[in-house]
Amino acid sequence: MHSKLVIIGSGPAGHTAAIYAARADLKPVLYEGFLALGIAAGGQLTTTDEVENFPGFTSIRGSELMDNMRAQSEACGAEIVSQTVGKVDLAQRPFKFWLHPMGDEETLEEETHTADSIIIATGAKARRLYLPGEEKFWGNGVSACAVCDGSLPIFREKPLVVIGGGDSAVEEAVYLTKKAAKVTVLVRRDQLRAGKSNARRLANNPKVEILYNTSPVEIKGDEGPRGLMKSLLIKNVKTGKEEEIPANGLFYAVGHEPATHLFKDKLKMDEDGYLITTPGTTETNIPGVFAAGDVQDKKYRQAVTSAGSGCMAALEAEKFLAEQEDVDVPNGIEGETDVRKGKPETNGDVPEYRQNPLL
């Protein structure tokens, strides 16, 4: 099958790109993947119990939000395929890719598919520790995003725990002090990996207690299918002493893994495996291939920023495809040509965008 535009990924970035591309008559095909990264189609939001910071919704379940996005993509004309893309060849256009059979991540189908342009929105997955009780209380006390979940009622004025010793852990812990009664930070080593200023900010916060040489052992809480987390069993790695501390929330800040293994040695990545895009755009180092969402964003990692970059990717793909067909596109992205010509009146090195009447 040949497509003008293919989108790989089914989170906010992928579906926003699909909506914009479909409304621009690009007839996009979105491959949502079958349990890609071990997560259902829809990405990380499907594991989030409540979302309170996505515009337009005071509160909505993450899975419901993604169902709404999927329905809107289809309503706009995008085709959605549930299979997982297992191999890509980006050496020349049209780009080639192959699919895994449904439910089989080991083999590839023989059929070769092609696309004139590809938007990569495969996301990133928070690293988990797989502690006893983690699966039971995930979404009911256990989270990997303080900014996403820290304001939920189950965490307000309660004792919370953050695991990690880097700058991200510090940011998460400091954010949670605005909501929590107390925040305990567990650091496996005898010092923080965070920068000096961040470490000082954490240590000086009166709501924070830092436990060094300490690791989590087991998450405990209410019984029943909707039981909430109540405490955490911890262990001093030097003395071996175990202790149970009150904790209504546990936040992992031990890093993320971008889903970029498919593009290794094919696209430029940073040292952590995130796709590198031209600043101010979603362009990768290969013309016609764009990256949106958490797969190229290691800083914000929010649903709304992912959706925004999905919009950018669709607009840029539309412009790219029109240029390949030598078709003038009056409604879309302006200023990019001026940027490349070095005109001083253009907004720095970043293309300017204007409202697209098609949208």
Residues marked active site are found at 145, 148-149
Question: What are the beta bridge partners of residue 114?
Answer: 2, 96
> Which residues make Cβ contacts (< 8 Å) with residue 135, sequence separation at least 6?
none
Q: How many CB atoms lie within 10 A of CB 248?
A: 22
Spatial separation of the C-alpha atoms in residues 13 and 294, rounded to whole Å: 8
Q: H or E segment at 233? A: strand 229-236
* 351, 280 Cβ separation under 8 angstroms: yes
Write the CA distances from 345 to 279, 280, 352, 353, integer angstroms. 18, 17, 11, 15
For residue 290, report the phi and psi dihedrals to the nearest 5 degrees. Answer: -120, 155
Q: How many CB atoms lie within 10 A of CB 107?
A: 10
Pairing status of strand 333-334 against strand 159-163: unpaired
**What torsion, rounded to 10 degrees, do the Cα atoms 42, 47, 50, 56 define?**
-10
Q: Classify the phi-psi angles of 11: left when phi > 0, otherwise alpha if psi is within -120 to 50, otherwise beta.
A: beta
Q: Which of 323, 320, 258, 358 is nearest to 118 (CA)?
A: 320
Tokens of 184: 């305990």
For tokens 């005071």, what's the residue?
58
* 179, 207 Cβ separation under 8 angstroms: no
Q: Which of 108, 138, 113 is nearest to 126 (CA)?
A: 138
